[in-house]
Amino acid sequence: MSLPIKAAFKPILDPGFVPASLWNKAYHAKVARDSRARQVHLALSRPDGMTFRWSGAVLSPGGANDRLTLRYIERLVKFLLWQKGGSRLVVAGAPETAAALAKIYAEDGARQFDREFIGTRIFGEPVSVKHVDRTAELPEANDGAMTLGRNLEGCRIGFDLGGSDRKCAAVVDGRVVFSEEVVWDPYFQADPQYHIEGIHDSLKRAAARLPRVDAIGGSSAGVYVNNEVRAASLFRGVSPEDFETHIRRLFLTLRERWDNVPFEVVNDGEVTALAGSMSLGKNRVLGVAMGTSEAAGYVDGDGHIRPWLNELAFSPVDYREDAPVDEWSGDRGCGALYFSQQAVARLAPAAGYDFGDMPFPEQLAKVQEAMEQGDPRAASIYETIGCYFGYAIAHYADFYEIENLLILGRVTSGDGGQMIIDEAETVLAREFPDLRIKLVVPDEKTKRHGQAVAAASLPPAY
């Protein structure tokens, strides 16, 4: 399934990397030369009726073309599933591709993880694939925005739940009057009350600094739909039974305790992007955090958070056949392996380091120390990630309207972070000169209080 890929840059430690952006460009060029090219239309729906649509040209059917088109559409669907979210895929225009996708997303198929995680766990049903003969049979697009954020009036509480601490702030008319971090250890706590009462305690501490509480907004890693917890690593220690009974509706329970004031909780990546948008005074912001994994959030041209998943950690960026395998999903070439502490650890042996079984955060710390000391081995790791990132940004731009890309996370701190940015900008300028995307690092004020203010601003007033 080879295509002529001409990359101006190759990651110094990983020259076999095949950027998704360039593979797709080569595929599109082949389609443009195909006099019998055809249109394919996709509809990705959720049980609540929300539907995302995509249309594009693909190669004429037969022989090697079928394999290339399946690769193109399968990777596209994988990205859309983790970007937009949905469980019902309907295809018009390529019956052979739809049939192959149905096998891939079958119970014993290659994408069993995605079928069950996005489908059953998040949307209550396994991912299904259906072919229809006519485009008119596809469900209509229904992609509404979440009109959350930028509501600063009144007395509000904003909180952010992390794996080692709970951050909470009291905000009056957009001004932080109190903030604190409380250490906790949620990951392996089996008792749901540990989580419920811990969060409630932080809210009470902030409320004590306010004359009243008009609204509460929060952020946390994970997937949240209509304030319900659908999937979140913070609660991994809770049994499935207790999760359904106590955790799934955790924030609805807390809202009742707070006299049903407006109460909204969304993914922390979305709030990070919102905080960056508010700080910059700009919209069309994609936020990417390189930390334990790759996290992301998006603010559209109207300044809205959209009802998407934006889980770019599982979205493919490397299309080579033997790309690194994500041990959780079993898929190859996904973002978490390229933009995270795990990426640093994966590249470390190629750079000449032998860290053995050292935990990933400690490996990152060693590489950061070496970078400060001018070690060229450390520089090669950051240069490689920057090259990956430049090509990945161009790929993301096929799915998002991006004018500003907010970069944060522990991997991007220090001199190594600046090298990532410099290398990514070099790739973008040379390979994708038509893209006008500004790479931005949040200022200290945004880092300290931006997340809390943005979280507090989520709910509309009464």
205: which 2 tokens? 């501490």
Identify the band that residue 448 occupies on the pLDDT scale cut at 50, 70 and 90. low
Q: Which residue has the tokens 């955090």?
A: 289
Q: What local confidence, expressed as pLDDT, does residue 363 receive?
A: 96
CATH architecture of 155-271: 2-Layer Sandwich (3.30)
pLDDT in tens, 328-375: 899 999 999 999 999 999 999 999 999 999 999 999 999 999 999 999
Q: Largest alpha-carbon pair distance within the chain?
A: 71
Fold of 273-449: Nucleotidyltransferase; domain 5 (3.30.420)
Q: Which long-range contacts (CB under 8 A, 24 or more apart) does 355-364 make?
A: 360/292, 361/292, 361/410, 364/410, 364/411
The secondary element (H helix, E strand) that includes residue 218 is strand 215-220
Q: What local confidence, expressed as pLDDT, does residue 447 receive?
A: 64
Mean pLDDT computed over 166-174:
94
313: which 2 tokens? 């950690």
Share of the chain above pLDDT 90, in %: 85
Q: Where in the chain is the domain with CATH 3.30.420.40?
A: 155-271, 273-449
Identify the band that residue 146 occupies on the pLDDT scale cut at 50, 70 and 90. low
Give the residue among 235, 237, 233 at the shortest CA–CA distance from 222. 233
Find the distance separating the first CA and the last CA of the chain, reported in whole Å. Answer: 57
The secondary element (H helix, E strand) that includes residue 242 is helix 240-242
CA–CA dist 261, 69 (Å, integer):
50
pLDDT in tens, 423-433: 999 999 999 99
